[in-house]
Amino acid sequence: MGDSYAAMSRPDLAATSYQEAFATARSVQQYAQATDALERLATLYRSLNRPEDAIVVYQLLIDVQQQSYNTLGIMDTYDQLGQLYQAQGNSGQAIVAFQQALQIAQQLNYKVSYFTTQIEQVTQPPTSQP
């Protein structure tokens, strides 16, 4: 339903629909559906240039993914948080998020170099353009 509202350029109704879908799914411990609703809500907020709202949703998403032992999902969500924090110029929070993702990546032996590169890019001082 939320996707239909988003397609009709009704982000307010789409957000409400995703929130309701999340609440319903979580109340009956349907974590896959709860995850899907939160991912769609975060994507909607990002498309509306509402990064603070997206961050709150991603933090909630990590909690849901932890409850369902979705390790890969947690790693990807920390990546999304890192990207948002970096775009906001919040290097400290970006590094923390990327480090959390890197720890999981090392456990999974997956995307280790990607997260190492992300951390290096955030920690490097900006280069001046001539």
Tokens of 73: 């999902």
Q: State the chain's maximal CA–CA distance in angstroms.
A: 58
Task: Report whether pLDDT(129) > 70.
Answer: no
- CA-to-CA distance for 3 and 17, rounded, in angstroms? 9
- CA-to-CA distance for 23 and 46, rounded, in angstroms? 20
For the stretch 44-87, pLDDT in tens is: 999 999 999 999 999 999 999 999 999 999 999 999 999 999 99
pLDDT of residue 1: 82
pLDDT of residue 115: 99
- CA-to-CA distance for 88 and 51, rounded, in angstroms? 8
Domain ranges of the chain: 1-51, 70-123
What residues have CB less than 8 Å from 60, skipping those under 6 apart?
A: 38
pLDDT of residue 6: 85
Please report where in the chains the tokens 């899907």 appear, as a residue. 36
For the stretch 3-17, pLDDT in tens is: 888 888 888 999 999
For the stretch 92-127, pLDDT in tens is: 999 999 999 999 999 999 999 999 999 999 998 767
Torsion of CA 27, 32, 36, 38, to 10 degrees: 50
pLDDT of residue 7: 81
